[in-house]
Chains A and B, each alone.
Chain A
């Protein structure tokens, strides 16, 4: 670190930033309860907590998007007033939002220049901006083409544009709100390299996450929030993942769920040489055969984009197959409409839960009857029976521990974990005989993940046949009885759980047969 108090961008460092006694109330919720938090130049301070613990609220206060009801903020020991993002930017605080604040139809340079005064008065000065972007990109090791359109960029590159945007505006302190949630593992490594460089140069970084291994890897100190309160702050080196998990959730957390033994019964789901197209016109599935028995979880492992989505969609009737057979309990159901499959007690936990698993502007109660709204007791002669819908909702909210102010709350206002619980409640409470679960814990926090996994195991115990599609190898290994690896639309191999090691699976996922050694010809 240099002795000078200037950053490479030319901006003065923020030596220390302190939030004291921050309290924020929303109607019915105490989002932050007298929270203290501080960050210094040259460190990554991780802010850890479950969904709804108050991390984002605290940071939105720091960035001027919310006003605190109580408490104060000090920059370099002096109290400051932050009433808007403009104030925050002026103080040198930048924020990388979880949902990028970019205009896809504009270029990188245009996105950076937006809202800033131009050196050419009323005319844009994109050449000048581009030059400065390249300068900054060089200093911080961010490869970016200022003239590229944002829609052409990968998610990782878009995030870099966000970082450049903040640096361009002179950010000395950067808030990164769940920056890894949308990244591939390789992009996460690149982001961490950038973060390390920034810290070395004297920036202060706040890293919001609920992924423990990332917090342990990148942060110097970690603060844990739970239910709006600060649980504590510690140097990261003095904690373990287990400690942090227990702090976050407030109890002992088991990383490996108890599976219990079941005896697989009849074949409930069978695919035979299934072929289908994909959205890009290339073959999606190219001859998939597999079967799942009652009381069994078959895990589908694979790198994203190898046919997982098509597999889930063909079984659930959302995508037509071009040849092959799909059988439910021995009966051919290929290309049946979803309503018919619903009748045959097939349930689906979709990968895109916000898009395919719910209707955002419907209430929780309405979402809970989406599958069976046309049947008794929810409707009769075409009229909805509101009382039985309400009772049904109340019961499921209780049984599945969906945290919602009421059954009449719009589903979009729930947190991610609670939306998934709502989907589970709808799909699992009907005692399905076959369940297709696609990425059922992606983006969920520890508590919700644990809950979802326990529910799937419960269904297995009750005799459902479960197809678990997941890109999380730990999840596949923790839950599955047998593991199939999908690669380029084909099943490479199906291994019993005890024979499946991460190494073997990893090779198969890359298209290599461990015994044969040679990659499969495409």
Chain B
């Protein structure tokens, strides 16, 4: 019943799983922030996540090493990024279209490999919870923030790190310049293509981790299309967050909290059809984007291939 949702225990549960569920969004959206900041729209995030999720799961299952699984996911994501970078920078493809191509590739390939190599749904023991000494003992707060697994902590550390790289380093300066005015960057000797290769591959790597976080840290299974649109939501979060890591964090939390709420609603059998509940995060995506996007300005060179005149 609805009143069940408002007990302290349940609220803590909702918040704790909300914090946890933001993990894949954060990795994927921070990666996407980097590539969009440099002027590249990568719509293939979902595909990169799916392949990353499969790679992490399969390697972990067969070697027993979660870390090796994670590393493989990163490598797979990076390779997907490399391919995307070649298509984007060298072939100067339409980014919207090529990104959808990479999504479909990831979707199909992860399913094919799953059918061929595994065939049935299995489970692994994912990354265990790490209880931060003392902090995890704080009532409520401790369970919500300080009793999570390593990938969850990593996702939240990534946010200030990304902010720092983008705003305080020469690399970040180049990334921003390349995304706003590649001609200016080029005229000052910045290698526009190399910067974009870097950001797209970084984005792919982080998407790989995002996928792994689902399959070996949060859900601990792999099944067909298990990301169910989270990669696309991550892309939307970058717009929502106005290309700022802190904004992305806010968006990721909003969506994961809504997601967590609807999951708990199902658990507690709140009398709302589960189809409607599952729809909630997606409806929210659309509403929030409609309300916010027009007010923020995207990087000027976003989706524009760079070519030196003549």
Contacts and interface: CB of A to CB of B under 8 A. Distances in A.
Interface string A124-167: 10000000000000000000000000000000000000000100
B173 A101 contact: no
B189 A115 contact: yes
A122 to B, nearest CB: 5
B180 A103 contact: yes
B184 A103 contact: yes
A223 B260 CA distance: 74
Given A105-B176, A122-B169, A86 B189 contact: yes
B220 interface: no
A421 to B, nearest CB: 23
A115 B183 contact: no
A193 interface: no
Q: Chain A: interface secondary structure?
A: loop
Contact of A124 (B168, B181, B190): B168
A66 interface: yes
Interface in A100-128: 100-106, 110-111, 113-118, 122-124
Interface residues of B, number: 20
Contact of B188 (A100, A101, A104, A122): A101
B310 interface: yes
Contacts of A114: 173-174, 177, 184-185, 188, 190
Interface in B288-310: 300, 310
Nearest to A57: B310
A407 B170 CA distance: 47
Contacts of A392: none
Q: How large is the interface on A (under 10, 10 to 19, 20 to 34, 35 or more residues)?
A: 20 to 34
Contacts of B177: 103, 106, 110, 114
A118 B173 CA distance: 11
Nearest to B310: A66
Nearest to B181: A103
A259 to B, nearest CB: 42
Contacts of A85: 187-189
B181 A101 contact: yes
Contacts of B286: none
A106 B174 CA distance: 11
A102 B189 contact: no
A104 B189 contact: no
A134 B184 CA distance: 22
A103 B189 contact: no
A124 B166 CA distance: 11
Contacts of A26: 310
Given A85-B187, A114-B190, A115-B189, A122 B180 contact: no
21 contacts: A66-B310, A89-B189, A101-B184, A101-B187, A103-B177, A103-B180, A103-B185, A106-B173, A106-B176, A110-B173, A111-B184, A114-B173, A114-B184, A114-B190, A115-B185, A115-B188, A122-B169, A122-B170, A122-B171, A123-B168, A123-B170
Q: Which 9 residue pairs of A and B lie closest in terms of their CB atoms, listed nearest first? A: A115-B188, A101-B184, A101-B187, A103-B180, A86-B189, A103-B181, A115-B190, A115-B189, A103-B177
Interface of A: 26, 66, 84-86, 89, 97, 100-106, 110-111, 113-118, 122-124, 165
